[in-house]
Amino acid sequence: GDSVTQMEGPVTLSEEAFLTINCTYTATGYPSLFWYVQYPGEGLQLLLKATKADDKGSNKGFEATYRKETTSFHLEKGSVQVSDSAVYFCALGGRGGATNKLIFGTGTLLAVQP
Amino acid sequence: DAGVIQSPRHEVTEMGQEVTLRCKPISGHDYLFWYRQTMMRGLELLIYFNNNVPIDDSGMPEDRFSAKMPNASFSTLKIQPSEPRDSAVYFCASSVDRGYEQYFGPGTRLTVT
C-alpha cells in the first residue's frame, strides 16, 4: 500500500544553517505530496504542496520538489531561524492517488539553536 | 473562515468516565477526519466521514470509541468508558474533497487519570 518514509530526527541546526529533511514515498497512481508543520502545542498546518511530477511547492522560504523518478519530496530551506523549530510531516494523497486519506510520515523534529 | 474548531481544548477526567470531544469543520468541506497523536504511536487516523457518513473506522481502537456526524457542521468523538491509555491529543481535520489538503483544528489534550 501507499507509504511515506521520513528521515529520523531530531535534526539540530544552528540559526542560518541549510536545512534538508528527506522524504520518500511509495504510491499507486499519481498522488499529491504535502509538507505539514506542527509547532509546539498546536495542530498541523499545511506548509506547502505539489500536485504533479516536477512541481515545486514553496512557502515561508521552504521548498520541496516532486521527483517522480526518485519518488522523493525533500524539504529544504536555505537559512533556518529559531522560529522554524517544530515537527515536520511529509504526507501523500490526492485525487490521483488510491486513497481518500492522507498518508503521513512519522514526523521529523527540527530544533534550531541561536 | 474561522478554521476547524475543537472543544474543549483540554480535558482531564477520571478513568471510567465518559468523554465527548467536539469538532466543527470548515464550512463547505465534505470530509472530516479524527486523529489521535501520542509520543509512542505518532499520528493515527481513527475515522473519517464524507458528507456526514462514516467511510472508514478501521483506526478506531476498540468499541469504547464512537464517532458521529449528525450534520455537516458538527462531529463528536466519544470515549466510554475512558482509560488512562486514552490520554493523547485528539485532532479533527477537514478537507474540501477526496485526498485534498486537510486543515487541522488546534486539538483537544485529553488526560485520563
Query: What is the per-residue pLDDT across B70-101, written as a single tens digit (0 to 9) for each?
Result: 999 999 999 999 999 999 999 999 998 876 78
B50:A31 CB<8 A: no
Chain B residue closest in CA terms to A94: B99
A49:B101 CB<8 A: yes
Within chain B, strands assigned E span 5-7, 10-13, 19-24, 31-38, 42-50, 53-56, 65-71, 74-79, 88-95, 103-104, 108-112
A106:B42 CB<8 A: yes
Looking at residues A9-15, what average pLDDT do you find?
A: 95
Predicted local confidence at residue A55, as pLDDT: 95
Average pLDDT, chain B: 94
Predicted local confidence at residue B1, as pLDDT: 63
Chain A residue closest in CA terms to B46: A101
Looking at residues B3-9, what average pLDDT do you find?
A: 96
Residues A56, A75: Cα–Cα separation, whole Å: 10
Looking at residues B10-33, what average pLDDT do you find?
A: 96
Report which of residues A8 and A88 the model is more confident about. A88
Cα–Cα nearest to B71, from B9, B13, B29, B21: B29
B interface test, pick of A6, A100, A109 with most B CB neighbours within 10 Å = A100
Residues B103, B13: Cα–Cα separation, whole Å: 28
